[in-house]
Structure 1
Amino acid sequence: MEKNNKTDKELLGKGLKRMGICLVLMFMGPTLLHLSLDNDDKPLYIPLLIVAIILCIAAIVMLYIGLNTILNSIFKKK
């Protein structure tokens, strides 16, 4: 009975890359949201607000995907 409980390093690297993308999105989304809400009299208010909300949602999605990938690399058996 040999258990193969080694971490899949390639999958772990992919998960860490996704977490890095999430970190960038976590700063870009709220920053753009703050900038767009401060300048509500400018003509690009609505498009910038939409892009900021999409980036915030993308950060949450990438966080979920990245954590799921890391956990799969650690606990999933081949």
Structure 2
Amino acid sequence: MPTPAQDQARVVRVPGVPPNVVMWVDHEHADGVLRLNADLIDTPTAQQLEAALKEGSCTAAELIQALVARGG
């Protein structure tokens, strides 16, 4: 059975973000949600990222680090 944290959205697509911002974690909200630039990341990709986060195969920080390592 999923925990309450697993039931919560872990990924949110945000429109109107500058094109040089792909994904980020808003530390002011401290909600652990990975925010994605909706103009750059489509819904199926966002769903795949959310599934990976919910199953615990990676963290938001690891996803961001992987994106930076491959050059955005």
TM-score by length of 1: 0.27
TM-score by length of 2: 0.28
Which of the two has greater strand per residue? 2
Which of the two has greater helix per residue? 1
